[in-house]
Structure 1
Amino acid sequence: MAGNGKAYFIGLDGGTGGARAIITNTQGDVVAMATHDYATHFPRPGWAEQTPEDWWRASMLAVRHAVRDGGISPSDIHAISADGTSSTLVALDENLEPVMPAILWMDNRAAAQARRMTATGDAALRRSRGGVSSEWMIPKILWLKESRPDLFDKVRWFVEMTDYLALRLTGRLTLGLNHITNRWFYDGRRGGWPTGFFDKIGLAGIVERFPDEILPLGAPIGRLSSEAADALGLLRDTMVVANGTDAYVAMVGLNVCEAGRTAFITGSSHLVLPMTDRDIEVPGIFGPHPDCVIPGLYVMEGGQVSSGSIVRWWHDHIGKLGGGPDTYALMLAEAENIAIGADGLVALDFWQGNRNPYIDYDLQGALWGLTLKHTPAHMLRAFIESIAFGTENILRTLKDNQVDISTFVMCGGATRTPFFVQMHADVAGIPIMIPEVLDATAFGSAITAAVGAGFFGSLPEASRHMVRQKSVVEPNMQAHAAYGEVFEFYRDTHDALQPLMHRRARR
């Protein structure tokens, strides 16, 4: 490629709230970053949708702004790679146009289909013994067939957000090995697609609607199409590299590419992602997913559907009240000074159901213990504690099954608030490592682009070279003991309210 000898790579992150473009060099230095938001629509309780064209428009703006702000010549940009949210269903017609809004990852309309799939007990469920998540792609496709057959019949191709972005970048329709392994029941070590399982649940022949070309993380797809190059302000010969699920790509951006390391991804949702060389099943935890990030290794997954999104809700609906722009910041500071346990308030973080370890999408958020003593800051404190307890619930489930997590590498929105980071360290009782680049998903996509462009021989090599650690947050073990007592109320609250929540969901 022509240029002055400099090499830059664009990581494009299709997140829940918007598109983020990050530009790095081969040393892992971030030279520019830009974001552009898009809307999420909630047509019914538990539903969440987005418009694919909004993703592309935001991606164009984010890339253009990053290139402009970084003062970078397009001739020096060697590759681009775009990740996306997990199990965000995109249904395309024969002309590769969406036939409906994309069903977002957090949408739980397919809970009934997921329960029926779980009840089959099929061998394809070995990596989700505790239950199938209604967030995943196959339950959503089954819901579409059963609930909207008119739309289902119009669909020629089912793909995910990252596949759609790759299509818009190159004009080629591909499918990522990463997300079909951890979300579509694909297992390259056991024959690929479980067609017998699909037949059993009522999706016979569905594989014919999946793109044939399956690419691993970091594989080159091809050059930018002329249309995409013009839209992004890049050159036609810029390489486009295969990507995958946002959180799994963040593992690359955190240098969690070796067995024994664990990524802790925070944002609208939280994910605990241990990398292991053991083919071990843990009830209530998804995985082990083989070869979906690094060939030869497995990823375990424990996640919370609602975490940062709860705090965002509080900010938008409560924290802005009072007439001043700093009301939320003041309330957050007040919450930090409230004693552990929020003076008796206990909350549950199941605002969009529970992914792990209960795998129960009929659960909902809750708050109890209110008295006239309590203030909105107490409630905020209780909600934040519930998020940390949700993470601890996953860790304890792993530990009870001989998967011990001794440290985290953390990224995402929560890292920008020291109070959140310290609470997570204290509740878990383990050190948390913080990298220099906190936007690990977009950064991981840029690293993936560098590998696909041939600048490194593998993802682990590139990650070791480009990722640097900034600090370590040590736990306060006295606080850890105090949180342990409140955590038991959290788990007991789930046990007490679960029957009522299930009754409510069946109405």
Structure 2
Amino acid sequence: MGDYYIGVDVGTASVRACVVDVSGKILSVAVKGITVWNPRPDHYQQSSEEIWSAVVYTVRAVISEAKVKPERIVGIGFDATCSLVVLGDRFQPVTVSLDGEESQNIIMWMDHRAQKEADVITATRHSVLKSVGGIMSLEMQPPKLKWLKQNIPSTWQRAAHLFDLPDFLTWRATGSLSRSLCSLVCKWGFQADSDGRLCWDDDFLALIDLGDLTENNHSKLGNLQQDVGSPCGSGLSNQAAEELGLIPGTPVGTSMIDAHAGALACVGCTPVASSHKETLADLDNRIVIIAGTSTCHIICTRTSVSVPGVWGPYYSAMVPGMWVNEGGQSVAGRLIDFVTSSHPAFSETKTKAVDRGLHEYEYLNDHLQQMAVRNHFQTVAHLTHGFHVWPDFHGNRSPVADASLRGMICGLSLSATEDDLALLYLATIQALAYGTRHIIAEMEKSGHMISTVYLCGGLRNNRLYVQTHADVLGLPVVLPEVDQSVLLGAAMLGAFASGKFDSLQSVMLAMGGQGSVVDPDAAVSSFHEKKFQVFLEMLGDQQKYRNMMKDVLRS
């Protein structure tokens, strides 16, 4: 009998849990949906109580399915989206809703209500901004906190504990008020570096009118910071253990943001193809794309690299003692879902896919192959030679770092057939790949050298998405054999906290597994080069149009 670990991942729309053995093999997975409230444009809210109930449900379910005795579970780890949780002095939910729904106490990562506040913070040009590419994103916590203070003063007065969602989960599991460096340095403006600096910047907080958060040794923000995976408190509290069906004191690893957990699992994966074999010594040259509702692009390096418009460099956010840069696209899977489901031909296409026992995207992938043959094109990619998409329907996270950018489509006609839907679907996937290339180009311009791409998340299962990224980037794409990398990363935190490993890198090597390699097709490199140039022109055009219209509402 061996040891086992539990990983819990709180995503945008669901909570997932798994049981993992010491080799990284996932024995069982359970999923439970959670509510996303969207009461006003750009306002996205959740409930911490509902999320914890879903955690309890999924953990009990995976233990039962795996048929593992609770005493064999020797570590548990949590990851979650970087959403803001507000609790009162008795740890009760405090509303973040303008409509007063008390249970809705989470402002989600994708909430865009705080654009004005983000712009004000960026305008300070404070040195804290150096660690976020020079621009404060409205998806981070300082703008959301500033918005709360200005717009719901009653909530601000009652708020006693302000958590990033991953840290809320470890508090709920252990009672410890410690915070993860991953969340703090990536989303809260906390300062950490290789010279030993580890602190809140009180001047910055005062400058952005959040100086009251420095009171009582920053108690609302957290005054105990820990490396990812380090043991949290004294392990599971009696109450949490009873709820989860586990043993009190079971070690709990300090949490991570969900994308970083996926990256942690991916970079420990060994490519199967001998020509692409790497070790953890090559970590600096790997970028991980965590592709789901949104997409994150994470690279972990031994040295600090600043990239304009790209988040970071963050110290000890993923692997203790190393630096992280993080690019991203605010929508990816959600964008593909939106453009396809809103097309007039989607309903008929979905019916045909169901009849053939296929997911609608598998059906569209096959349909595109038939279109390429029918039109005598060398590859599917060439079908979009006259059709172009700019993908920032929900703003640009990086490298432009402009949340006000919007989507563009060039090449529309009066036709709305299944062929037109397939072209829109293909062009959207290509646009997301060009967005990734744009991010990587800026990273390399600043000094990164990237030789391999690792890809995880829900979109890793879409063969067209994967191959398109390999082709557009001109780089091999590694797909870990474990298709639940984010969950595995969470379980790795529990494994490290258990004390069975001497370092987080040891956990990554022991549990990372292997991965298959998808190589780029050189036959489409020149085509994608031209399309990428069109992509950049579309950005310039949108900026030009906006500049032309900027004064029209003032006249």
TM category (shorter chain) comes to over 0.9
Which residue in the other structure is 2:391 paired with?
349
- Check whether the contact 1:46–1:352 (CA below 8 A) recurs between aligned residues: no
The counterpart of 2:239, out of the listed 222, 227, 242, is 227
State how far apart, in whole Å, the 2-side matches of 1:367 and 1:50 are.
Answer: 32
- Check whether the contact 1:10–1:449 (CA below 8 A) recurs between aligned residues: yes
Moved more, 237-246 or 439-448: 237-246
- Matching residue's letter, 2:11: G
The counterpart of 2:227, out of the listed 210, 216, 222, is 216
SS of 1:263 mapped into structure 2: strand
Report the Cα offset of residue 9 of structure 1: 0.2
Provide closer, same or farther for how the CA distance between residues 295 and 120 of structure 1 changes in structure 2, counting only shifts above 3 A: same
Which residue in the other structure is 1:472 paired with?
517
Which residue in the other structure is 1:156 paired with?
160
- Check whether the contact 1:19–1:59 (CA below 8 A) recurs between aligned residues: yes
Provide closer, same or farther for how the CA distance between residues 61 and 471 of structure 1 changes in structure 2, counting only shifts above 3 A: same
- Matching residue's letter, 1:347: V
Which residue in the other structure is 2:353 paired with?
326
What aligned pairs does 1:360-375 form with structure 2 within 5 A after superposition?
360-372=402-414, 375=420
Report the Cα offset of residue 261 of structure 1: 2.7
Which residue in the other structure is 2:129 paired with?
125
**Structure 1 residues without counterparts, runs of 5 or longer:** none
Per-residue Cα deviation, 1:396-446 (whole angstroms, up to 9, x for no partner): 111222212111111111111111100000010000111111211110111
Which residue in the other structure is 2:439 paired with?
394
Report the Cα offset of residue 6 of structure 1: 2.0
Moved more, 189-198 or 357-366: 189-198
| Structure with bigger gyration radius | 2
How many positions carry a matched residue from both structures? 502
- Matching residue's letter, 2:401: I
SS of 1:264 mapped into structure 2: strand
The counterpart of 1:142, out of the listed 127, 132, 146, is 146
Asked whether 1:282 is paired with 2:307, we answer yes
Moved more, 111-120 or 308-317: 308-317
State how far apart, in whole Å, the 2-side matches of 1:394 and 1:49 are.
Answer: 29
Which residue in the other structure is 2:424 paired with?
379
- Matching residue's letter, 1:488: Q
Asked whether 1:358 is paired with 2:400, we answer yes
State how far apart, in whole Å, the 2-side matches of 1:486 and 1:320 are.
Answer: 26
Per-residue Cα deviation, 1:181-214 (whole angstroms, up to 9, x for no partner): 1111112234511110111111113133212222
Provide closer, same or farther for how the CA distance between residues 456 and 355 of structure 1 changes in structure 2, counting only shifts above 3 A: same
Which residue in the other structure is 1:107 paired with?
111
State how far apart, in whole Å, the 2-side matches of 1:260 and 1:424 are.
Answer: 17
The counterpart of 2:84, out of the listed 56, 80, 89, is 89
The counterpart of 1:198, out of the listed 205, 222, 246, is 205
The counterpart of 1:74, out of the listed 49, 70, 74, is 70
Which residue in the other structure is 1:459 paired with?
504
- Matching residue's letter, 1:92: L
- Matching residue's letter, 1:300: N
Report the Cα offset of residue 500 of structure 1: 4.4
The counterpart of 2:328, out of the listed 297, 303, 320, is 303
Per-residue Cα deviation, 1:249-276 (whole angstroms, up to 9, x for no partner): 2222113564333222111111111111
SS of 1:219 mapped into structure 2: coil
- Check whether the contact 1:362–1:501 (CA below 8 A) recurs between aligned residues: no
Provide closer, same or farther for how the CA distance between residues 384 and 15 of structure 1 changes in structure 2, counting only shifts above 3 A: same
Which residue in the other structure is 1:34 paired with?
30
- Check whether the contact 1:130–1:358 (CA below 8 A) recurs between aligned residues: no
Provide closer, same or farther for how the CA distance between residues 94 and 499 of structure 1 changes in structure 2, counting only shifts above 3 A: farther
- Matching residue's letter, 1:324: T
Report the Cα offset of residue 504 of structure 1: 8.5
Report the Cα offset of residue 44 of structure 1: 2.2
SS of 2:543 mapped into structure 1: helix
The counterpart of 1:244, out of the listed 256, 273, 276, is 256
SS of 1:423 mapped into structure 2: helix
- Matching residue's letter, 1:118: T
State how far apart, in whole Å, the 2-side matches of 1:7 and 1:59 are.
Answer: 21
State how far apart, in whole Å, the 1-side matches of 2:8 and 2:80 are.
Answer: 9
Q: TM-score normalised to the size of structure 2? A: 0.86
- Check whether the contact 2:285–2:449 (CA below 8 A) recurs between aligned residues: no
- Check whether the contact 1:252–1:460 (CA below 8 A) recurs between aligned residues: no
Which residue in the other structure is 1:446 paired with?
491
Report the Cα offset of residue 179 of structure 1: 1.0
Q: TM-score normalised to the size of structure 1? A: 0.94
SS of 1:398 mapped into structure 2: helix
Provide closer, same or farther for how the CA distance between residues 492 and 168 of structure 1 changes in structure 2, counting only shifts above 3 A: same
Report the Cα offset of residue 115 of structure 1: 1.1
Per-residue Cα deviation, 1:329-372 (whole angstroms, up to 9, x for no partner): 43343245454362422112112211000111111222222024
Report the Cα offset of residue 394 of structure 1: 0.4
Per-residue Cα deviation, 1:205-225 (whole angstroms, up to 9, x for no partner): 313321222221011112222
Provide closer, same or farther for how the CA distance between residues 396 and 505 of structure 1 changes in structure 2, counting only shifts above 3 A: farther
**Aligned-pair identity (%):** 29
State how far apart, in whole Å, the 1-side matches of 2:511 and 2:329 are.
Answer: 29
**Structure 2 residues without counterparts, runs of 5 or longer:** 96-103, 269-279, 355-359, 373-379
Moved more, 163-172 or 6-15: 163-172
Provide closer, same or farther for how the CA distance between residues 453 and 339 of structure 1 changes in structure 2, counting only shifts above 3 A: closer
- Matching residue's letter, 2:140: W
Moved more, 135-144 or 282-291: 282-291
- Matching residue's letter, 1:453: S
SS of 1:19 mapped into structure 2: strand
- Matching residue's letter, 1:428: L
Q: CA RMSD in A?
A: 2.1
Which residue in the other structure is 1:434 paired with?
479
SS of 2:456 mapped into structure 1: strand
What aligned pairs does 1:486-505 form with structure 2 within 5 A after superposition?
486-500=531-545
Report the Cα offset of residue 235 of structure 1: 2.0
Which residue in the other structure is 1:65 paired with?
61
Report the Cα offset of residue 18 of structure 1: 0.8
State how far apart, in whole Å, the 1-side matches of 2:131 and 2:115 are.
Answer: 18
Which residue in the other structure is 1:262 paired with?
287
- Matching residue's letter, 1:225: S
State how far apart, in whole Å, the 2-side matches of 1:488 and 1:467 are.
Answer: 37
- Check whether the contact 2:340–2:421 (CA below 8 A) recurs between aligned residues: no
Provide closer, same or farther for how the CA distance between residues 380 and 506 of structure 1 changes in structure 2, counting only shifts above 3 A: farther
- Check whether the contact 1:433–1:469 (CA below 8 A) recurs between aligned residues: no
Provide closer, same or farther for how the CA distance between residues 469 and 505 of structure 1 changes in structure 2, counting only shifts above 3 A: farther
Which residue in the other structure is 2:276 paired with?
none
State how far apart, in whole Å, the 1-side matches of 2:382 and 2:294 are.
Answer: 23
The counterpart of 1:17, out of the listed 13, 21, 26, is 13
- Check whether the contact 2:23–2:513 (CA below 8 A) recurs between aligned residues: no
State how far apart, in whole Å, the 2-side matches of 1:340 and 1:17 are.
Answer: 35
